[in-house]
Amino acid sequence: MHELIRDITLCILFAWMLGLLAHFSRQPLILAYLIAGFCIGPFGAGWVKSQESISVISELGLIFMLFMIGLEIDLKKIVRAGKVILFAAGGQLIGGCVLGVLFFVGIGLSLGGGHFDAVYLCVACALSSTVIIVKVLYEKRELDTLPGRITLGVLVLQDIFAILFLAVQPSLANLEVSVILLSIGRVAVLVAAALLVSRYVLPRLFHQIARRPELILLGALAWCFLVAETAERLSLSREMGALIAGVSLSTFPYALDVTAKVTTLRDFFITLFFVALGMTIPVPGLSVIGLALMIAAFTVVSRLVTTFAPLYLMKQGLRASLLPALNLAQISEFSLVVIQTGVADHHIAAETANAASFAFVVLAVLSTFVMTRSDEITRWAIGPLKRIGLRDLDHGNGHAEEGHEGGHGEARRIVILGFFRAASALLAEIERQAPVLLEQITVIDFNPNVYKTLLSRGLHVIYGDISSADTLLHAGVGKSEMIILSVPDALLKGASNEKLVRHVRTLNPTAMIVATADLLSDVSELYAAGASYVTVTRLSDAHELFTVIEAAQAGLLPDKRAELDVRLGERREVLP
């Protein structure tokens, strides 16, 4: 016991020190934890030698990690997922696994006879890192963009795929239909029982203790370990049970509160899991490094092929097809969980597992670098893709038969550069108050959903990147009378309002240019760049909030709300 406490102390101390280095060098924290584990483990300094300690630390971390992954799986979002996300995820997962089996068997890895290295690697390579992707997209403010939503939707469905694999995984050595059905049946019974209890029993219990945070935390942990131990008794695994416990809690009313209470504890045990995983990684030989590089290369190439192809075939355009492929091009921390379950059941060789861990580290670093520069990479790649014959949404005039110009023809009197929520609200307001003005407006944007929706409504829309000089020049912006920039700098890619104003002013010296300022200090800079008028969104928001306060003080808040409900009911916005 004393040895275990000492080992945990070393784990946390080294994880914190190397975590600080990773933070300041802008590297993934998971990478720091793995290196920390290697440094103090049997293959490093040898300060932690007890295999029992490593096993206990690893299993605890794994249970908590899967519990939290389950908590964050939103079943409602999966049900609401559009066909684009469903087809993209289906193409990526099925295509990735088929290519994975062919590739890994082709390089000599085993597929049967009690050894399933190729199977585990193809599944591991089909999953992408939620931790890395969400962190980078959040920092880039791209979670709510179309490529961001597609990426997150695919991640959720990848988690469901991993759950299904974990249900079958214990029976890989005896893959008879009856055995598989029995395993799936056990999982189905456990899931059904967990969902019923979380739906009808747990809400009443948690309602009684809602004001006792320590009991909420303790109740969530009790539920996690109860379902985990039940899964063990059903010949599944504690890890599988922890995942089911999390998924069942994600659907009940106190899920957000439980997640908030468990998050700190989760971070502690997830840190221990990755540190313990690092302890099991030996100094790599040339064969391990070679296999790791092949795994990494296959993951990147297969992800680009299997993610880009279905999105492109569904006419999402080159940019919206490329970005999710770049975002997803790494191996998931969930992949390491899958690999470790295979190691525990002696399904996969230790050398293969070590190579997968090294591939995870390589891709964690590279994908973070690529994702932060994904817009520049996408712009660079679109030209060559067009030259080899791939068509973007601005190709041809396929909509001419519908009475539209299909994105062709010069811009009209009023041009909206970039289309997000403010532009959506503006068009709805124009449609309500002066619909005849819609015939004088051109929208330029590269969101395929916006492009198709505006075309279907009879508006003139040009598909293109507003940060590209060629797009603005060929669109004929130089002849327009009013140019509106409604997208704030935080959401613009490869440009800013100031740069766009300067460029548009060069193309069109006489146009009225309306720009948007995020900061008050930006206003004078935009005027100096050539803007005719600058909108500051916070001012209109402040005015609206002040009228709400006045209405509340006068006892008229219900009337104001009713007035707003009427206004909202009259709107027909492109972006809800």
Residue 75 has a pLDDT of 61
The alpha helices in 328-447, defined as continuous H runs, are 333-344, 350-372, 374-387, 421-433
174-188, 420-434, 559-573: segment of lowest average pLDDT: 174-188
Instruction: Please give the Cα distance from 59 to 229 (Å, whole number).
Output: 13
Helix-, strand-, coil-residue percentages of the chain, each rounded to 5: 70, 5, 25
Checking if the pLDDT of 388 tops 80, the result is: yes
Residue pair 105/341 in contact by the 8 Å Cβ criterion:
no
Mean predicted confidence (pLDDT) in 316-335: 88
Checking if the pLDDT of 53 tops 50, the result is: yes
Same domain as 138, residue 250: yes
Residue pair 92/310 in contact by the 8 Å Cβ criterion:
yes
Q: Is residue 126 part of a domain?
A: yes
Q: Is residue 409 part of a domain?
A: no
Residue 510 has a pLDDT of 92
Indicate which CATH number applies to the domain containing 143: 1.20.1530.20
Checking if the pLDDT of 324 tops 60, the result is: yes
Per the structure, the count of domains in the chain is 2
Residue 143 has a pLDDT of 72
Q: Is residue 276 part of a domain?
A: no
Residues across the chain: 576
Same domain as 482, residue 354: no
Same domain as 337, residue 450: no
Q: Is residue 2 part of a domain?
A: no
Same domain as 527, residue 381: no
Checking if the pLDDT of 530 tops 50, the result is: yes
Same domain as 538, residue 431: yes
Residue pair 270/58 in contact by the 8 Å Cβ criterion:
no
CB-CB neighbours of 440 under 10 Å: 16
Q: What angle do CA 495, 148, 70 make, to 5 degrees?
A: 150
Contacts for 145 with CB less than 8 Å, ≥ 6 apart: 447, 491
CB-CB neighbours of 510 under 10 Å: 9
Which among 367, 385, 403 is the end of a domain?
Answer: 385
54-58, 107-111, 346-350: segment of lowest average pLDDT: 54-58
Same domain as 440, residue 298: no
Same domain as 447, residue 371: no
DSSP 151: H
Question: What range does the domain containing 560 cover?
Answer: 414-570
Where does the pLDDT of residue 210 fall: very low under 50, low under 70, confident under 90, or very high at 90 and above?
low
Cα dihedral across residues 26, 28, 31, 32: positive or negative: positive
Checking if the pLDDT of 254 tops 70, the result is: no
Indicate which CATH number applies to the domain containing 488: 3.40.50.720
Q: In which residue are the tokens 């709805």 written?
A: 428
Q: Is residue 55 part of a domain?
A: no
> Is pTM, for the whole model, over 0.85?
no
pLDDT in tens, 89-111: 889 999 999 999 999 988 888 77
DSSP 389: T
Where does the pLDDT of residue 575 fall: very low under 50, low under 70, confident under 90, or very high at 90 and above?
confident
Cα dihedral across residues 303, 306, 310, 312: positive or negative: positive
Checking if the pLDDT of 46 tops 50, the result is: yes
Residue 403 has a pLDDT of 36
Q: Is residue 274 part of a domain?
A: no
Instruction: Please give the Cα distance from 140 to 83 (Å, whole number).
Output: 26
Instruction: Please give the Cα distance from 533 to 553 (Å, whole number).
Output: 34
Residue pair 400/410 in contact by the 8 Å Cβ criterion:
no
Q: Is residue 7 part of a domain?
A: no
Which among 365, 385, 405 is the end of a domain?
Answer: 385
Same domain as 243, residue 97: yes
Residue pair 3/53 in contact by the 8 Å Cβ criterion:
yes
The Cβ-side half-sphere exposure at 156, using a 13 Å CA radius, reads 21
Where does the pLDDT of residue 406 fall: very low under 50, low under 70, confident under 90, or very high at 90 and above?
very low
3-class secondary-structure state, position 496: coil
80-84, 139-143, 287-291, 375-379: segment of lowest average pLDDT: 80-84
Checking if the pLDDT of 61 tops 80, the result is: no
Cα dihedral across residues 541, 544, 546, 549: positive or negative: negative
Radius of gyration for the chain, computed over Cα atoms and rounded to the nearest angstrom = 27
Same domain as 84, residue 150: yes
Same domain as 435, residue 349: no
Average pLDDT, whole number, for the chain? 82
Burial of 42 (0-12, 13-18, 19+ CB in 10 A): middle
Pairing status of strand 512-517 against strand 533-536: parallel
Pairing status of strand 441-445 against strand 460-463: parallel
Checking if the pLDDT of 401 tops 50, the result is: no
Residue 319 has a pLDDT of 87
Where does the pLDDT of residue 142 fall: very low under 50, low under 70, confident under 90, or very high at 90 and above?
confident
Same domain as 454, residue 374: no
Q: Is residue 517 part of a domain?
A: yes
Same domain as 435, residue 367: no
Checking if the pLDDT of 399 tops 60, the result is: no
